[in-house]
Amino acid sequence: MAFDGFSDQTLSRHAMRAELLDAETELRLAYAWRDQRDEQALHRLITAYMRLAISMAAKFKRYGAPMNDLIQEASLGLMKAADKFDPDRGVRFSTYAVWWIKASIQDYVMRNWSMVRTGSTSSQKSLFFNMRRVQARLEREAAAQGEKLDKHQLRQMIATEVGVPLHDVEMMEGRLSGSDFSLNATQSSEDEGREWIDALEDDAPQASQHVEVEKDLATLRGWLINAMQALNDRERFIVTERKLRDEPRTLESLGDELSLSKERVRQLEAAAFAKMRKNLETQSKEVHQFFA
């Protein structure tokens, strides 16, 4: 059920004009949908309880989400409730649907509150939607007794009241204290003010690191060239074809070209590597890190 193009008032008026279902009719529609997948029965059931979905959506307007979007999420929750409702359990559909509608709206609010994930566990959801109310009540009670709670005491009391760890309260307090800001916003009101993104540290290698890497690579390249020159032509050919090509050749293909067995090519390769290792070790002890 899409609501694009409809105003909040229009949706509310349509919902208020919907029929009121008695328990017997509601049960009959629920059975028709569950057992026969009767879409007309589903439509009547959903339409009749859209006023409930809209009423619950209105309670979440204070979180800043567009009312039309809240109603859309509430209707999705209502449809999930209708799809999963079991009329044999002996409860009214409205009682069952309340949980699904509320869960759908809460998930939407938490997803859109911040680009940073606010929380997904039941305790974090409870904290998100109840922290400010609990905080206000605790402050009123303390004021009535002539007491003033510091921030640490208040956080600890909220954690105990909601049943969550203290660090969850501290984290949620930070999340609820402000909204997201664009990194492209300027740091000052001046037209040519620097954007916040310009203040972020560049994680690319610094010039000094780049120079050090290039120097190390040049040194290593020189060692390898000297080590390769210590090999005979056949050994140098095998090492080049096996290790320096984009697509290394197999021992078998080299054996066919050199008229050697696959095992003999493997032996020559191993001997060439042994020569290279010995040559490199005489040039610098640091080479061990490249051949570990």
What pLDDT shows up at residue 73? 93
- Asked whether 97 and 78 are in contact (CB, 8 A), the reply is yes
* Residue 14 burial (10 A CB sphere; 0-12, 13-18, 19+): middle
Find the distance separating the first CA and the last CA of the chain, reported in whole Å.
64
Element (H, E) at 40: helix 39-48
What pLDDT shows up at residue 32? 94
Q: Give every residue of the chain whose pLDDT is below 70, as ranges.
A: 1-12, 14, 113-124, 174-206, 284-292
What pLDDT shows up at residue 200? 60
CA distances from 34 to 38, 42, 84, 111, 161 (A): 8, 9, 8, 31, 41
**Residue 195: beta bridge partners?**
186
Contacts of 80 (CB under 8 A, 6+ apart): 100, 104
What pLDDT shows up at residue 165? 82
Give residue 113's identity as a one-letter amino acid code: W
- Residues 77-86 have pLDDT tens digits of 999 999 999 9
What pLDDT shows up at residue 2? 45
Q: For helices 207-229 and 262-283, what crossing angle results, to 10°?
A: 120
What pLDDT shows up at residue 206? 66
Buried b (16+ CB within 10 A) or exposed e, 246-281: eeeeebeebbeeeebeeeebbebbeebbebbeebbe
**Residue 186: beta bridge partners?**
195
- The reported pTM is 0.48
The whole-angstrom separation of Cα 183 and Cα 200 is: 9
